[in-house]
Structure 1
Amino acid sequence: MSTDPYRSLLNHLASCTDDTDIEKLLSALLTDKEQHEIANRIRIFDLLERGVTQRDISEQLGVGIATVSRGAKAMQIHDLSALLNTHRQSS
């Protein structure tokens, strides 16, 4: 029986009830740099939604304009309101 590894990861994350378990899993799966890049992507989404210009976001976070542009494109495709609400509540 073949299982899609990405789907397995999603199912595992969805079944986690403890933030510590999720943190341990992501620490095992992602390098420090990858974790930082994901966190920056969420910051990019948040700043874009707040109306900050792409150039200002690039300068503020120290990322390339292409990175910010990819984030803007992702926001056009996906509804990220739940993620952003969670991000703002934990900030």
Structure 2
Amino acid sequence: MSTNPYHSLLEHLANCHDSTDIEVLFRALLTDKEQHEIANRIRIFDLLECGATQRDIAEQLGVGIATVSRGAKAMQSHDVSALLATHRQGS
């Protein structure tokens, strides 16, 4: 097990066998608000990948345009498009 807290978290997530295990871990680690914010970030990524405008995303999710803009910037700087495409194919 890693001594780096972030790497330890990643190892624990990698050891989860299904989404139920991940949900249990997230409920133990994160507040309801934190879970909601992470879910919104993923939704922002998904909607951007589908071609939705930032303004439409903000309205659909009930968040500020700045929240969507931060999500778009994070998506670009971390190049998660390939990961999202893989997830969609597996769904």
TM-score calculated relative to the size of structure 1: 0.84
How large is the RMSD of aligned CA atoms in angstroms? 1.9
Aligned length: 89
Map Cα deviations across residues 23-72 of structure 1 (whole Å, 9 max, x no partner): 11110001111111111111101111111111111111000111100111
- Pair 1:86-2:84 in alignment: no
Unaligned runs of 5+ in 2: none
Question: Aligned to 1:63, what secondary structure does the other structure show?
Answer: coil
- Opposite residue 14 of structure 2, the aligned amino acid is A
Change (3 A) 1:30 1:23: same
In the aligned structure 1, how far is the partner of 2:57 from the partner of 2:89? 17
Question: Aligned to 1:17, what secondary structure does the other structure show?
Answer: coil
Question: Aligned to 1:73, what secondary structure does the other structure show?
Answer: helix
What is the CA-CA distance between 1:20 and the residue it aligns to?
Answer: 2.2
The answer on whether the counterparts of 2:57 and 2:68 sit within 8 Å (CA) in structure 1 is yes
TM-score calculated relative to the size of structure 2: 0.84
1:34-73 alignment, distance < 5 Å: 34-73=34-73
Map Cα deviations across residues 10-33 of structure 1 (whole Å, 9 max, x no partner): 111111223322211110001111
The answer on whether the counterparts of 1:45 and 1:84 sit within 8 Å (CA) in structure 2 is no
**% same residue:** 75
Change (3 A) 1:88 1:69: farther
